[in-house]
A and B are shown apart, each in its own frame.
Chain A
Amino acid sequence: MEFEFLPGRKLKNLTTEKIIMDNVQRISQVYIEAPWRKQLQYVGLFLLGVVLIAMVAFFYINVTARAAAIGRSIQLMQSEIEVIRRDIVDLETEMAELTSYSMMVNRAGGLGFYQVDPDEVIYLQVPGYQGRQPVSLGSSTAPPLPSASSLSPDYTQSLFEWLRERVFDPAAPLLEIEP
């Protein structure tokens, strides 16, 4: 150990700093000299990355799987809607065939009805009766449903699609502030 000739207080401070420096140096040396600690750090960082990637992958796969399942259900329902619409049309036409004029005349004849002779007709006055009015097709129909295709992209696009849009279409953000 070396000693320097310095006035009282200065000498004391210099000694303390040296001691601290020595300690730091010693601790550093200890860690530097222990390779397993360094490897542990790398392994820890690597595992941390793996865990993060796994979490992201898990969420991504989870969401994607659920979206795919729902998407498939939508596809099936769309097919079902088409089938139901065709069935409705078929049933309407079938009913019209079963109640066509010729069929009704035959059925009426089979039931014993016959065409009335003008002399047999009895006319009665029914107060308030306006006679047979033409059919109205409007009342029984609900207004058409809006198409979901009109949904904003905010509800349909994925994070990647949103990111890609922002990268390749710099003007896109401006659109959002339009009224």
Chain B
Amino acid sequence: MTKEYSWRYITLGLIFTALAAFIVLQMIRIQLSPQAKYFRDRGNSVSGYWKTFSPARGSIYDRNGHLMAGNKTVYEVGVDLTNPARNPTTIAMAANAVIGLDYDYVFGLVSQASSDKGIYRMIADFVTEEQKERLDELNDQMSIAYANSDDPDRPSLDGLQFRPHLQRSYPEERLAANLIGFVNREGRGFFGIEEQYNDLLAGEPQIMWVPSDPNKVEEFPNIPPGASLVLTIDRTIQSEMEAILDDALNDTGAESGTIAIMDPKTGEIIAMATTPRIDLNEYWRYGEVFVDPQMTYNNAISKSYESGSVFKVLTMSAAVDNKSVAPDTMFLDTGAFEIGGTVIRNWNGGAWGYQDMVGCIKHSLNVCLAWVASELGNGQFYKYMQAFGIGSLTGIELAGEVPGRLKQPGDNDWYEAELGTNSFGQGVSVTPVQMLMAVSSLANEGKMMTPRIVLSMKKDGREYRTQSQVAGMPISAETARVMSNMLAITVEVESYSNAVVEGYRIAGKTGTGEIPTPFGYTSNVTNASFVGWGPVDDPQFIVYVWLEKPMTSIWGSEVAAPVFREVVEHLVVLMNIPPDDIRMQLQNSN
């Protein structure tokens, strides 16, 4: 290299060095400039995205594995505003025709230009698979028809995007709607099982940064689905009971009704039918069905009422257990009994003369039961009622349970006369499920079982079985047997013939409860009830029937007892319970 050329190389080197220095300085300047955050944010915005991994909501099955609540794919439909080929007119027309959206609304959304603030606009959510397929089909047809067209305004659904996600689905629609509850579009459970076990069913969503760079890809978190639940109900029995209840309402003109069935040995609820019911897949029609704010979603647990004479079962059980009376204790019914300044009279206002305790129950004598309660005394009567769970929650795993009301000595609104009226089910409010639990002690050798609706739970691949719980032992086994026998005799008499099920010995009691109003009790509209269990020697079910304000008759023996009989006639077939004589033969042959 000669000296005459070396200056050129030096100059070139200096230029390159200055250029490199300039680039480095510029990089440093940009990094330290106020706009640096903007650039970083821009970079981050395209380097990946935050994704919420929502686990599939757990399923709900009946005891035989039939799906009662599952999930199905639906779509969020939106438009890519950066797509230059999108045609707002076509998209709006298609959305109007297929999804039923307002044309102007969609046209306005789709016509917007993309900006830093938005490159995507959602136009509809919870679009069904069928609607999506129809839109895809339309898109394909347009693509073929205008494949060779250069017209920038040619009909096209370009830019339309579908984002799938899961939505709750109820294959059985209205079946067991009152105990399952529903899930809204935000994924929150309302009523019944869906609300009670919302957190368990929903699982735990996770949010994760998903990089767009394949070099930085990470495995998606393995999120287990929400827990699945197996219920104690049998969908066949549930469906039959709902059909019987609906027919009963039609036949009697009752305002609402409830049929609840429980296994007295385990506390498992086999069926729980109430009215009104909604199609859970259209839960948004809730307001159309439950028009009155006083209406409850599940009367069996959420609506307490004065049950009337079915309550006498508990009064008599307490007295027999306390040995205040025995089945053969005689009582002279004069047609009136004064207690706390109030005169108690019988349902027909008559005097029934000498009656033993079986006769008192058989003829449902208020006077006799008020005397029985007075023999027990305040302390013992209310102690027994508390032991039966009256006035307390049963603990059934359904949202919205109410405890009813048992006024007791010491309460501001309790009077001495309450002892007399409470003895035959007036002045004390109960729920059907409370009565089921209380009566289970009579049908289960004195052991009162907590009603339960969840049989098992599957979580993380493991199954957990729930256990039967004894809620207490308010009466002895001997008392339970005595009472079952008394109530079986009661059913066998003529006045209860509506409840007699041929071939089966059933124990039971009717109830006709007057309805309290601000102006006192009304006798022209009542609550008609029946509680019964069987077979008496080996009880496998307790049935509780409640018809609210029946129109054809005010008496439980005339409207609720026939419903009970129909229920049991179906139940024994569905539960494979042979008639007593055949059952005995089968047992003896073993």
| A contact residues vs B (CB 8 Å cutoff) | 35, 64, 67-72, 74-75, 78, 81, 83, 85-86, 89-90, 92-97, 99-102, 105, 116, 118, 121, 123, 125, 131-132, 134-139, 141-149
* A74 CB contacts on chain B under 8 angstroms: 214, 217, 219
B66 close to A144 (CB less than 8 A): no
Asked if B184 is an interface residue, CB under 8 A from chain A, the answer is no
For the complex, give the distance between the alpha carbons of A137 and B67 in Å: 12
- CB within 8 A of A96: which of B67, B230, B460, B586? B67
Chain A contact residues, majority secondary structure: helix
Contact with A along B438-464 (1 / 0, CB 8 A): 000000000000000001101011110
Bound Cα distance from A147 to B208, whole angstroms: 14
- Point out the residues of chain A lying under 8 angstroms from B169, CB to CB: 93
A137 touches which of B66, B217, B228, B589 (Cβ 8 Å)? B228
Bound together, the chains give a CA A136 to CA B455 distance in angstroms of 10
> Using Cβ atoms and an 8 Å threshold, which residues of chain B touch A95?
67
Q: Which of B220, B221, B455, B573 has the most A CB atoms < 10 Å from its CB?
A: B220
The residues in B between 199 and 222 inclusive whose CB is less than 8 angstroms from any CB of A are 213-222
B458 to A138, Cβ gap below 8 A? Answer: yes
**Nearest A residue to B577 by beta-carbon distance?**
A123
- Is A93's CB under 8 angstroms from B228's CB? no
Q: Decide if B578 touches A78 in the complex (CB within 8 Å).
A: no
| Assembled-state Cα–Cα distance A139/B503 (Å) | 40
> Could you tell me if B461 and A142 are in contact, using CB atoms closer than 8 angstroms?
yes
The interface centre, meaning the residue of A64, A68, A100, A144 with most chain B CB atoms within 10 A of its CB, is: A100
Cβ contact within 8 Å between B215 and A141: no
Judging by beta carbons under 8 Å apart, are B56 and A89 in contact? yes
By the criterion CB–CB under 8 Å, are A143 and B461 in contact? yes
Q: B52 near A: Cβ within 8 Å?
A: no
Judged by a CB distance under 8 angstroms, whether B495 is at the interface is no
Q: Mark B553-590, 1 if CB is under 8 A from A, else 0.
A: 00000000000000001001100101000100010011
Q: Is B303 an interface residue (CB 8 A)?
A: no
Instruction: Indicate which residue in A83, A89, A142, A148 contacts B70 across the interface (CB closer than 8 Å).
Output: A89
CB distance from A84 to the nearest CB of B (A): 12
Residues of chain A within 8 A of B218, CB atoms compared: 149
Using Cβ atoms and an 8 Å threshold, which residues of chain B touch A90?
A: 72-73, 129
B216 surroundings in chain A (CB, below 8 A) = 71
Q: Which residue of A lies closest to B208 (CB)?
A: A149
A101 engages B172 (CB within 8 Å):
yes
Known: A118-B573, A144-B224. A89 touches B235 (CB 8 A): no
A97 CB to nearest B CB, Å: 4
- Complex contacts, A139 vs chain B, CB 8 Å: 463
B45 to chain A, nearest CB (A): 18
Contact between chains at A92 and B67 (CB < 8 Å)? yes
B65 within 8 Å of A (CB atoms): yes
Contact in complex: B589, A78 (CB < 8 Å): no
Which residues of A sit under 8 angstroms from B573, Cβ to Cβ?
A: 116, 118, 121
**A135 contacts B63, C-beta separation under 8 Å:** yes
Cβ-defined partner of B572 (8 Å) among A81, A96, A99, A118: A118
**Closest chain B CB from A48 CB (angstroms):** 21
Query: Do B172 and A100 have beta carbons less than 8 Å apart?
Result: yes
Give the nearest-CB partner of B164 in chain A: A86
- Residue pairs across A and B with Cβ atoms less than 8 A apart, 23 shown, are A71-B213, A71-B217, A74-B214, A74-B217, A75-B217, A89-B56, A93-B171, A94-B72, A96-B70, A105-B239, A118-B503, A123-B576, A131-B576, A134-B456, A137-B65, A137-B458, A138-B462, A138-B463, A141-B461, A144-B222, A144-B461, A149-B218, A149-B221
